[in-house]
């Protein structure tokens, strides 16, 4: 079974049509500085973006964000609990 590779050249209108809102300049910089090398393909003298790899990077970024938010919420809950216990202890000491 042949898997069809979804690729697009670095052109503003094609990037925007596919939900990539980084500028062509930024993406070229990423290519030549080695940021996310798995998304870039170069052939025919042009740089192309592999949309499958782009989607994987976006999904990974969302997963990492969700993990950070969950950790933050957990820490915030612990902080509120500690703060309330300290306030209660302070009331007991000063009453």
Burial of 40 (0-12, 13-18, 19+ CB in 10 A): buried
Domain map (residue ranges) of the chain: 7-94
**How far is CA 62 from its chain centroid?**
5
Distance CA 3, CA 1 (A): 6
Contacts of 8 (CB under 8 A, 6+ apart): 14, 15, 18, 48, 49, 51
pLDDT in tens, 7-64: 999 999 999 999 999 999 999 999 999 999 999 999 999 999 999 999 999 999 999 9
Task: Note the pLDDT of residue 4.
Answer: 73
User: What is this structure's pTM?
Assistant: 0.71
């Amino acid at each position: 079974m042949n898997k069809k590779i979804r690729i697009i050249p670095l052109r503003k209108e094609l990037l925007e049509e596919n939900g990539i809102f980084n500028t062509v300049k930024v993406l070229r910089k990423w290519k030549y500085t080695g940021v996310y090398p798995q998304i870039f393909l170069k052939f025919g003298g042009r740089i192309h973006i592999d949309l499958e790899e782009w989607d994987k990077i976006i999904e990974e970024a969302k997963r990492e964000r969700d993990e950070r938010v969950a950790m933050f919420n957990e820490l915030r809950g612990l902080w509120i609990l500690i703060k309330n216990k300290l306030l209660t202890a302070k009331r007991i000491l000063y009453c």
